[in-house]
Structure 1
């Protein structure tokens, strides 16, 4: 009896990378003339991503223009029932549901694969903006995240700092998020400061750490003394 084994969890693709959308047939002998069709269903559109037609020996693969040059099958794995889709250069717009349909003779089955898309941004950087009252202002910046990341400021013990933090998340025209986060560090507080940016979907993070010298605080700066 033929059967497609459904995936056990959603697939996560990283922007700019490649990903495999699994579709595995449980069958002892694979017919040579099977047809495999992958269909994408997004929020507003439905696209026949690519089709392998085993009956067309000269040109068996038809790929939609939207995915031109970005998809391929593992043809040598067909005999093992592997009709998964190899998707290259993942984009934010690829997020959605993909239906893998398999036909041969009088048999048909399909499974749905959920593709989530994420992006890990560049390394965060912490800069000193200048004096604010008796303290100094610090800013942390990082670009290129999806979905919207979280920003956490930490002390020397790796604990969340108690200072008030202002975080601005900017969605770029491409849909990717940039973050800018600021806090004021008072003289006498823990001067080891870390800014951590976290993408929970990828379980990825980047972190930048600075150790602020007393000389940077207004009350300690030589040019502030009378």
Structure 2
């Protein structure tokens, strides 16, 4: 009897050993949908008497617990209460499936499928990847400025964080001006990207987003006509600025020369600080990615207009005062002989001004 009992006990011991295998590769779960996770004992055997536990990071916090032939829902952690179901159609063959309803972003990650029979146990790990793709993409146009048109693309409700880029009509990537993202209370990604268009040839652009897990793509394009690019206004402003600067450079030396002629000293304090400020702002602009870009652009436009108006106004005032003084002195005894015309020839020959006798 005893010799025959040893093989029997040995066989009983080996019959209680098993391995657990789970799903190969990550399982994709759509946000708000249902996902099923299966695991199988090998060799196949009835597991009705075993403990079957599904958990995330901690063994003591099960997602679902099956023990003593019953589902113990009271042991489940709160966020999975009434959201899980253990399918037992193939439990006699050692296979069980966990079904999770109303998938959320928090369900993303690893799940442990744990089997225990007496003192022996084994587990398998299955990874779940939650995905969400937004079908809504908005493109916003900011008011045109002298720097161009700032185009903004927004899309909310993505998971994980999508790839986002601008593309032209040929499908080539256009460098963005800025890109940012945030997450809402549901941990979904809200994407934002901007692009500064400086010419009408860039008017056909596409905002492109791609889910890195599923490969699903969404896109929205916009076509801008020449009317959106304020080049006429820019040319008028630039021309006015150039004319104003030229007039200033012409009039200031004339007034300086007039002051020297009448012995009043030299006037050499033209209003160049404002021009210098404008030049610095033009050659060292605020980048479009800066949150104050719109404010800077508006400021630059206002300063340009104000400078143009001031230059024209100052030029008119200086000219008026100059000719008024000239006429006044001529009228009080100054003769035509006392004033030497400033021809190019005389200036090149270094003709001096005669002294005026009051």
Q: After the TM superposition, which segments of 4 or more aligned residues of structure 1 sit over 4 Å from their partners? A: none
Q: CA deviation at 1:88?
A: 1.2
In the alignment, structure 1 residue 196 sits paired with structure 2 residue 212:
no
Where does the alignment leave 5 or more consecutive residues of structure 2 unmatched? 1-14, 237-358
Give the greater-gyration-radius structure (CA): 2
Which has a greater percent of strand? 1
Give the number of equivalent residue pairs: 216
Distance 1:203 1:173, change over 3 A: same
Aligned residue among 222, 225, 236 for 1:210:
222
Aligned residues: CA RMSD: 2.7
Q: Match of 1:26?
A: 42
Aligned mate of 2:136, from 107, 118, 123: 123
Instruction: Tell me if the contact between 1:143 and 1:178 (Cα under 8 Å) persists in the aligned partners.
Output: yes
Instruction: Report the Cα offset of residue 129 of structure 1.
Output: 1.9
1:36 aligns with 2:52: yes
The gaps in structure 1 that reach 5 residues or longer are: none
Deviations 1:152-196 (A, max 9, x none): 00001111014x421121222332221111111122423211001
In the TM superposition, what is the alpha-carbon distance from 1:51 to its structure 2 partner? 1.3
The residue that corresponds to 2:160 in the other structure is 147
Alignment deviations for residues 30-75 of structure 1 (CA, whole Å, 9 cap, x no partner): 2442331111217xx962111122x34xxx1123132111111222
Q: RCO (CA 8 Å, sep 6+): is it higher in 1 or 2?
A: 1
Between 29-38 and 82-91, report the one with greater CA deviation.
Answer: 29-38
Aligned with residue 146 of structure 2, among 133, 137, 146: 133
Instruction: With the length of structure 2 as denominator, give the TM-score of the two structures.
Output: 0.54
Higher-helix-fraction structure: 2
* 1:167-182 pair list within 5 angstroms: 167-182=179-194
Does structure 2 retain, via aligned residues, the 8 Å contact 1:126–1:139? yes
User: Out of 4, 7, 13, which is 2:29 matched to?
Assistant: 13
Aligned twin of 2:90: 77
Distance 1:77 1:130, change over 3 A: farther
Whether the aligned pair in 2 keeps the contact of 1:102 and 1:108 (CA below 8 Å) is: yes
- Match of residue 65 from structure 2: 51
